[in-house]
Amino acid sequence: MPMLKRFSLMAAPAGLFMAIFFIIPCGVLFAYSFGHTSYADISFGTSPANYLRVISAPLFREVILRSLEVGSSVGLASVILAFPLAYAITLGPLKRAGTFIMLLVIVSLFTAYIVRIYAWRTLLGRNGAISQLLTASGVTGAPLEAFSYSKAAVIVTLTSILVPVAVLPLTSALSGVSSQSIEAARSLGASAFEAFVRITIPLASRGIISAFALTFVIAAGDFITPQLLGGPRAQLAGNAIVDRFGLSFDWPLGSALAFTLVVTLGLFLWVLTALLRRLGVKDRP
Amino acid sequence: MKQGRLSTLAFSTYVALLLMFLFAPIAIVVLFSFDSKGIAAFPFKGPTMEWYAAVAGDPIIRKAALNSIIVAIGTTICCILIGTSAAFVIARFRSRSASAFAGLMALPLLLPHLLLGISLLSFFTSLGIGLSVRTAIVGHVLITLPFMVFTLSSRIAGLDPQIQEAAATLGAGPAQAFYRITLPLIRSAMVGAALLVVAWSLDEFSVSFFTIGSDNTLPIVIWGQMRAGISPTVNAISALMVLTTVVLVCVVHRLSDIRFR
């Protein structure tokens, strides 16, 4: 069988599935974003009015900016927290326990998102365990309202959920760093710290960037955690989108908001990697 | 070496603390699922199994559990059927169209699930297709297919292509070579990836939320009970879901050749 025919035959099932259930639906959503809604009727159209509304309304600008802020905080925190673990089980002293540690990380990765958010709510919520402990021990007089439903609660919860996501690319990048190149730097007179900063980090930079990008996109696009733990002042763009698809039934506006969010997230990551590249960090070693 | 022992101690402490940050909230939920007070609050009142009995006796929860299982099995079957040949394409072809294909398969991983959910919702609605367990399966396949494909393709890329060629030289047709040689070599990875797809699908919430309509899965029941105010059975449902995840991941670890590192 000729190469091309075999390729098309083998790529067809998944290719067709992606065309029908991914590309076309995204196209439908994109078409909606230029349409409008009246009562229960949603119609396609060609008007950019929804995008103008997204850009001009302070509410939408605010939630998109907050999504960027929460996304980058969570991305940064996840990478910083996950890095020492990934380092310990690849180049560091916990290599032999690595399989067991990774097994725990994978269990946590596959534990239901909704269960983990629920678990954090039992800890941080108004009558949650932490608030109760603090009240009972006399540290605070009243239940901790300020932290339970806040941006900080959303960031802590999402970070805890996404650390395992960051561990995977970091581990695979660090296991590609040969200990010989680190030893070479050491024998040429570099201190352990210098070798780490000038050899290990640059060689792992691709893993660091993909760990940040993955956790950033998931956190910035989330709507469940802010809904359940955020309170009214920590709602993200995802919540505004879900509202348009639920309560206020304005799918065209919701679609425009969704595409604006995705494009903003993409631009943010693009600018970030461009800046890092200018600083001399390469995204591929 | 003294410094070596110190760094081992420092790293071990750090990793233990980080794992606590990941697992402590879940451990507390599991603990409270056995407490008779029924809300997740200290102090404990006394051990009980009544919430598990309540879960087992609740027809809504039982229906949701059944739906979760149906969706997970449907998703996994679709992933195997669609994903296996796609994995071969990515592992074995080195052309521009093959890398474009790999890019297309990876794309859902890079987008927020929210976008995938609302685009499927718009798509099904504009075609007049009612939302149900069936449409939810489509959503779950969209999310888990990239995982299935890339797990398998990295396994296939590690196989020696000469084994297949040897089979061909010895007179095996392409189909025979596939069933007798290649398939046995990747079977273990396929089973492992399939079980992880089951685990993922059982836990999936955000895409089900948009594509399942008025049907329920367990995560959607939890969401509903949380929004309605805490219900004591959420602890027990959560504990059972965590147990399922632990069992599935351990089975994959023990029985398949998927390595987690």
pLDDT tens digits for B211-221?
998 899 999 99
* A274 belongs to a structural domain: yes
Task: Give residue for tokens 């089951």.
Answer: B198
A32 falls within a domain: no
How far, in Å, CA of B40 to CA of B29, rounded?
7
**Tokens at residue B158, please?**
């590690």
B window 122-161, beta carbon within 8 A of A: 122-123, 126, 138, 141-142, 145, 149
Superfamily of domain B55-255: MetI-like (1.10.3720.10)
> Which residues in chain A have their CB less than 8 angstroms from residue B8's CB?
93-94
Nearest residue on chain A to B145, alpha-carbon basis: A14
Q: Is residue A106 part of a domain?
A: yes
Helix, strand counts (H, E) of chain B: 12, 0
- A6 falls within a domain: no
Maximum CA extent, chain B: 72
| Structural domain count of chain A | 1
Q: What is the per-residue pLDDT across B96-143, written as a single tens digit (0 to 9) for each?
A: 889 999 999 999 999 999 999 999 999 999 899 999 999 999 999 999
Cα Rg of chain B (Å, integer): 23
pLDDT at position B60 is 92
| DSSP three-state, residue A160 | helix
In A91-128, which ranges are continuous DSSP H helix? 98-110, 113-124
CA distance A25 to chain B (A): 5
Who's near A275: CB < 8 A, 6+ residues apart?
none
CATH, residue A113? 1.10.3720.10
What stretches in chain A show pLDDT beneath 70?
1, 39-40, 126-127, 138-147, 280-285
Q: Which residue has the tokens 């790529």?
A: A11
pLDDT beneath 50: ranges in chain B: 1
Asked whether the beta carbons of residue B19 and residue A103 sit closer than 8 angstroms, the reply is no
Q: Which domain holds residue A154?
A: 58-278
| ipTM at complex level | 0.91
Q: Is A133 on the interface with B (CB under 8 A)?
A: yes
CA trace torsion A190, A194, A198, A201 (10° rounding)? 130
Residue B73 C-alpha, separation from nearest chain A C-alpha, in angstroms: 17
Q: pLDDT tens-digit profile of B76-89?
A: 999 999 999 999 99
A112 with B7: Cβ contact below 8 A: no
Domain contains A101? yes
Residue B25, amino acid = P
Angle made by CA atoms A204, A208, A212, in degrees to the nearest 5: 175
A157 occurs within a structural domain:
yes
Give residue A140's pLDDT.
Answer: 63
Report d(CA B148, CA B79) in Å as an integer.
7
DSSP-assigned letter for residue A43: E
**Surface of B (171-230) touching A: CB under 8 A:** 174, 196, 199-200, 202-206, 210, 219, 222-223, 226-227, 230
